[in-house]
Amino acid sequence: MPTVLVRNGRIVTASEGYEADLYVDGGRIALIGQGLSLPADTVLDASGCLVLPGGIDVHTHLDMPAGEATSADDFETGTRAAAFGGTTTIVDFATPEPGESLLSALETWRGKADGKAAIDYGFHMALRGLGETTLAEMARLTRDEGVTSFKLYLAYPGVLQVDDASFFRVLLGARECGALTLVHAENGGVIDVLVKGALARGETAPRYHALTRPPETEAEATVRAISMATLAGAPLYVVHLSCAAALAHLTAARDRGLPVFAETCPQYLFLSIADYDRPGFEGARYVMSPPLRETADQEALWGGLARGDLQVVATDHCPFTLDDKERGRHDFSKIPNGAPGIETRMMLLWDGGVRTGRIDAQRFVELAAAGPARLLGLWPRKGTIAVGSDADLVIWDPERETRLSAETLHMRVDYSPYEGRTVRGGPVVVMSRGEVIVDHGEWKGRAGRGQFLKRRHAQPA
């Protein structure tokens, strides 16, 4: 395997920032030091740039069926787009068909990624409920297969929503086998009533998607999930937390010392409920669950990221084409839920977080790479720059300007929620296990080079 020398950069991890060179051998970081002069197959000059650990996005939905549609990026296009944005590892969701065993679902989803993924990847397992074999399969997946996190939905009744008893039993089972329970926290029953009421009144436009999923429905499900995790004595990770009301419950629980964690996503930091009122049917582009919130919620989330109440920024990348979104032209509840974001996460977080002074560069690394690695069992192989860690590295130019547009981004979808926005700070070279896969905007990677990651148990900080 070729050796690489990265010279003259400033290394930034979640805990440090210092000038040093890096030597990569066998796909791993072999040496870190000042003024290294070793013969190498490739020498990269990182002058004026930062050298960061590759980003880790722990919430993606590639090649995911959703009703009659399928998310537009598969493991080839989605992981390539991720790399263009500085992300070198993803953790996607394997979702069983109704009645399908968890082990069979894992095989299916590994089959989707195998031969296609260009960066390393792992899987969480989504649960549709509690079958006869679920708890035993959870133990087996955790012990033998490197799938150490399980996601339950408190929303989407009749499709994915689980009842409280099943949720509680999964929490107990997860505690038993040392796995982490992830929760989509929205009260699906209440939302269902609100949606039916809106449709009965003829309120069919995209804005009613947000109005029928108010913050209270998320806050209630969040505090319920936290209460059940506390009763079970199990850790909990709340996915895509979107609003101040839910964050307040999380913060209160963490202040009590409870092992509860959460991610938010760029869409909740940069977009708002006003986007649903864009002209025509444009609001459909922003239909996702939870929905976009008020600008006051954005500020609360930034505070949570800075203080440490929120540990991760992930994307919930789940793109649907404009054609797919058309399915809900006359009924917002038929618009496939989800939006693209796998490529833009780190650029947005840098521009809106570091450049504005809301977070510093180390906190940026913590939220985009180190925190996700620790919580989801990838640390220290991923998420840091240390001797022995995978050489998943990003040479990051803090001044690089990018105009975000569907035309130039690499995700396989015909719109960007951030169309026309210019961000400063972005990746110039991206390396995965010592291989340069993106070089100044040019694709050097290869479909199928990504490896399945058997994850370990979470190591919450």
Q: Which does 431 bind (CB under 5 to 8 A by kind): Zn ion, ligand URP, none?
A: none
Residue whose CB is less far from Zn ion, 25 or 316: 316
In this chain, which of 318, 361, 411, 430 binds ligand URP, going by CB under 6 A? Answer: 318
Residue 61 touching ligand URP (CB under 6 A): yes
Task: Please tell me whether residue 455 adopts helix, strand or coil conformation.
Answer: coil
In this chain, which of 10, 116, 184, 381 binds ligand URP, going by CB under 6 A? Answer: 184
In angstroms, what CA-CA distances link 341 with 88, 183, 212, 267, 388?
Answer: 14, 20, 24, 8, 30
Task: Please tell me whether residue 411 adopts helix, strand or coil conformation.
Answer: coil
- C-alpha closest to that of 79 among 321, 319, 316, 343: 343
| Residue whose C-beta lies closest to ligand URP | 337
In this chain, which of 289, 298, 311, 315 binds ligand URP, going by CB under 6 A? Answer: 289
Least distance in angstroms from the C-beta of 7 to ligand URP: 41
Strands 260-264 and 236-238: parallel
3-state secondary structure 165-221: HHHHHHHHHHHHHCCEEEEECCCHHHHHHHHHHHHHCCCCCCHHHHHCCCHHHHHHH
The 8-class DSSP code of residue 106 comes to H
Q: Determine the Cα angle at 25 with ends 22 and 29, to 5°.
A: 45
| Range in contact with Zn ion (rule: CB under 5 A) among 29-37, 165-173, 314-322, 328-336 | 314-322
Residue 265 touching ligand URP (CB under 6 A): no
Q: Which does 13 bind (CB under 5 to 8 A by kind): ligand URP, Zn ion, none?
A: none
Residue whose CB is less far from Zn ion, 210 or 391: 210
Least distance in angstroms from the C-beta of 336 to Zn ion: 12
Q: Which does 338 bind (CB under 5 to 8 A by kind): ligand URP, Zn ion, none?
A: ligand URP
Q: Which does 337 bind (CB under 5 to 8 A by kind): Zn ion, ligand URP, none?
A: ligand URP
In angstroms, what CA-CA distances link 181 with 90, 125, 171, 245?
Answer: 18, 10, 6, 21
Q: Which does 289 bind (CB under 5 to 8 A by kind): Zn ion, ligand URP, none?
A: ligand URP
Task: Tell me the C-alpha distance between 192 and 311, whole Å.
Answer: 30
In this chain, which of 288, 346, 359, 375 binds ligand URP, going by CB under 6 A? Answer: 288
Residue 263 touching Zn ion (CB under 5 A): no
Q: Which residues contact 347 (CB under 8 A, 6 or more apart)?
A: 85, 86, 402, 404, 423, 425, 426
| Interface with ligand URP in residues 338-357 (CB under 6 A) | 338
Least distance in angstroms from the C-beta of 155 to ligand URP: 7
Task: Please tell me whether residue 352 adopts helix, strand or coil conformation.
Answer: helix
| Range in contact with Zn ion (rule: CB under 5 A) among 9-17, 203-211, 213-221, 316-324 | 316-324
Amino acid at the residue 41: D
Which positions touch ligand URP (CB under 6 A)?
61, 184, 288-289, 316, 318, 337-338
